[in-house]
Amino acid sequence: MALVDTFRPVSPSTSLGAPPSPQREGLAELEAWVERIAALTQPDRVHWVDGSAAENAALLRELVAEGKLIKLNPEWRPGSYLARSHPGDVARVEGRTFIASEHEADAGPTNNWIAPDEIRGTLDTLFAGSMRGRTLYVVPFSLGTVGGPLSHIGVQLTDSAYAVASIGMMTRVGTDVLAQIAEGAPWVRTVHSVGAPLAPGEADAAWPCNDEKYIVHFPDTLEVWSFGSGYGGNAILAKKCVALRIASVIGRDEGWLAEHMLLIRVIDPTGRAYHLAAAFPSACGKTNLAMLRPTIPGWRVETLGDDIAWIRPGADGRMWAINPEAGFFGVAPGTGEATNVTAVETLWGNTIFTNVALRPDGDVWWEGLTDEAPPRLTDWEGNDWTPASGRPAAHPNSRFTVGAAQCPQIAADWEDPNGVPLDAILFGGRRATNVPLVLEATDWAHGVFLGSTISSEKTAAAEGTVGELRRDPFAMLPFCGYNMADYFGHWLSVGERVRFDRAPRIFQVNWFRKGADGRFLWPGFGENARVIDWIIRRIQGTAPAVSTPIGRIPAPGSLNLDGIDVPEADLDELFAIDKESWLREADLTEEFYATFGDRIPAALTAELSALRYRLRGAPN
């Protein structure tokens, strides 16, 4: 089947016809919207994506024929492809990402705000004719299983076939979603163009894009418009744009949480299961924990999700969570058998790699995949590379896109539309100083306070003091679609809707504390299961803890260290609490809160005052 057979030619004066669904009346609004966008962008043709395997295969064949994808050697990586982006289009463009709420205060100081009327005029100009010579794909997608009680749906219009293939891996795409729209389900509108129209007969670029880039969110009307980039979350709008920025607004209005969190099931030696969600900023071990292989005999971890969790209070007084995504969009460098063997095994085939290196045998490689680099590669820009080249072979933000079902430790019920009940929520950052290996919040409000103060240090650990902090509260700083002070307040209010004895326990973890010599004090990776073990035993009520001014830490001897060698001095340092350093950290928190003016919830300023009170009363 040639993909072109399913296209409908379109011009501003040509009817698009009906999408493939018998219920036309309920789809009238969608069809009218598609026709309006087509009239603006002027594509040569429109294709309604049905999500079938045949359609996807045809799409990939055409991308290979056009030189936009390289098919990898099926002997090593069956069903897999390599894309090379333009060097100027390699990551999220946070400086060009905007929240276009009606009122600037609703976006808050941590977002780039722009007036809706102003930016709509700009976008109309940019998108006018932006799809000439190209195909407009209509991609109906569901975040969460189609029709599930915790799921939400949307439609992306895009002129990027690479984006279509990626959305098909990261979400549920197809006519089932159109049926939901036909039945009146609400849906989010997203529009994406690479911003590279083609004149008749003009050759296309291998990676079309535009130097001018915008990613604009309209939280009041539940829309996203993205222009100029074909990369990652700039083009796969269902991911960060909808599943976090727009979903956080929907969650605020409907009483639930859209979070930048992994989701796992931990099974203890007796077979009892516990469910944990964890929010870590970039480069803090999130994917590794999502695919953890415990080193403690008898413990198992099943993966439910590696990046996003939607959490709702249930009628039973507990919090229930789903992973709304259908795939993994992970950073390749640093992913290897020594760090995350589960991820490596997941990538055996049916994967789209972007900006990694190509081996002579038609497989891929990136820094960290193996201890030693191959003697010769083609780098992510298509140039010859050897270990003596003095530059990375793969881009530091190179990616893999793969279906979650391929993960060898994916939970059998990972797509259960009702989700799983949460037992614990973890927050963590990359802190070389101050923050203990693990810390338990005293209650929900204290846990929200901990989440609001998450940060990573920019300075070297050898300095031994609190350095300049890169704030990333709840790991949501780039992804919250509204004022983050209001978001803190929303967390507090959601906590009031669950029973205090059934609410998830909240913990802060830090795998990255260093000694004065710059050495990591904790072995990390699979050994992090020992921290999870203590957390589970806290939930069970069998692990003792010690109260400190900043929260509860493991009592001496309560961490299971059988089989590993952590010197007593290192263990002491992992849990050392320096009063003066924490008082300085409290001052930094106050400065951060002050950026939000009077919108910071009183409960959090009270937590900060209580922290100072406890610290000043603590012995030196």
Residue 511 backbone dihedrals phi, psi, to 5 degrees: -80, -5
* Nearest by Cα to 437 from 503, 504, 515, 505: 515
Residue 16 has pLDDT above 60, yes or no: no
**Choosing from 209, 284, 407, 480, which is the catalytic residue?**
284
pLDDT confidence of residue 13? 32
**pLDDT higher at 500 or 129:** 129
pLDDT confidence of residue 282? 81
Query: Model confidence over 469-502: pLDDT tens digits?
Result: 899 999 999 999 999 999 999 999 999 999 999 9
Count CB-CB contacts under 10 A for residue 124.
Answer: 11
CB distance 304 to 263 below 8 Å:
yes
pLDDT confidence of residue 23? 54
Query: Model confidence over 547-574: pLDDT tens digits?
Result: 999 999 999 999 999 999 999 999 999 9
Query: Model confidence over 406-429: pLDDT tens digits?
Result: 999 999 999 999 999 999 999 999
Task: Return the CATH number of 259-326+416-617, one of 3.40.190.10, 3.90.228.20, 3.40.630.30, 3.30.413.10.
Answer: 3.90.228.20
pLDDT confidence of residue 469? 82
Q: What angle do CA 11, 17, 23 make, to 5 degrees?
A: 150
Residue 424 backbone dihedrals phi, psi, to 5 degrees: -155, 150
Give the 3-state DSSP-derived string for 33-66, with helices as H, strands as E and coil as C.
Answer: HHHHHHHHHCCCEEEECCCCHHHHHHHHHHHHHC
pLDDT confidence of residue 217? 98
Query: Model confidence over 41-64: pLDDT tens digits?
Result: 999 999 999 999 999 999 999 999
Query: Model confidence over 133-192: pLDDT tens digits?
Result: 999 999 999 999 999 999 999 999 999 999 999 999 999 999 999 999 999 999 999 999
The domain made up of 327-406 has a fold known as Phosphoenolpyruvate Carboxykinase; domain 2 (2.170.8)
Residue 15 has pLDDT above 50, yes or no: no
| Residue 160 to residue 148: CA distance in whole angstroms | 28
Tokens of 313: 């209070």
In the CATH scheme, what is the homologous superfamily, with its name and number, of domain 3-69+92-254?
Phosphoenolpyruvate Carboxykinase, domain 1 (3.40.449.10)
Query: Model confidence over 334-388: pLDDT tens digits?
Result: 999 988 999 999 999 999 999 999 999 999 999 999 999 999 999 999 999 999 9
* Separation in Å, CA 26 to CA 32, 35, 36, 154, 173: 11, 16, 17, 15, 18
Contacts of 273 (CB under 8 A, 6+ apart): 265, 266, 267
| Residue 357 to residue 314: CA distance in whole angstroms | 46
Is 284 among the residues known to form the active site?
yes
Query: Model confidence over 234-293: pLDDT tens digits?
Result: 999 999 999 999 999 999 999 999 999 999 999 999 999 999 999 998 878 899 999 999
Please tell me the number of Cα atoms within 13 Å of 53 on its side-chain side: 2
β 469-471/70-71 pair status: unpaired
Residue 22 has pLDDT above 70, yes or no: no
Furthest-apart CA atoms within the chain: distance in Å? 78
Handedness of CA 360, 366, 369, 370 (dihedral sign): positive
β 223-227/187-193 pair status: parallel
- The arrangement of strands across the sheet holding 81-83 comes to 70-71, 81-83, 351-354, 399-403, 327-331
- Give the CA dihedral 31, 36, 40, 43, nearest 10 degrees: 20
Query: Model confidence over 83-125: pLDDT tens digits?
Result: 999 999 999 898 999 999 999 999 999 999 999 999 999 999 9
| Residue 310 to residue 260: CA distance in whole angstroms | 9
| Residue 541 to residue 537: CA distance in whole angstroms | 6
Residue 470 backbone dihedrals phi, psi, to 5 degrees: -95, 105
DSSP one-letter string for 541-573: T-S-EEEETTEEEEPTT-S--TTS---HHHHHH
Q: Tell me the Ramachandran region of residue 380: left when phi exceeds 0, alpha when psi lies from -120 to 50, beta otherwise.
A: alpha
Tokens of 137: 């794909």
pTM of the model: 0.94
Confidence category of residue 11, pLDDT binned at 50, 70, 90: very low
Question: Domain residues of the chain, as ranges?
Answer: 3-69+92-254, 259-326+416-617, 327-406
Tell me 204's DSSP state. P
* Nearest by Cα to 444 from 573, 257, 206, 183: 257
Q: Considering only 3-17, 172-186, 437-451, which range has the smallest mean pLDDT? A: 3-17
β 351-354/81-83 pair status: parallel
| Residue 508 to residue 523: CA distance in whole angstroms | 17
Query: Model confidence over 26-43: pLDDT tens digits?
Result: 699 999 999 999 999 999
Beta bridge partners of 421: 320
* Separation in Å, CA 522 to CA 230, 434, 569: 39, 14, 12
CB distance 353 to 399 below 8 Å:
yes
Handedness of CA 345, 350, 356, 359 (dihedral sign): positive
| Residue 372 to residue 108: CA distance in whole angstroms | 46
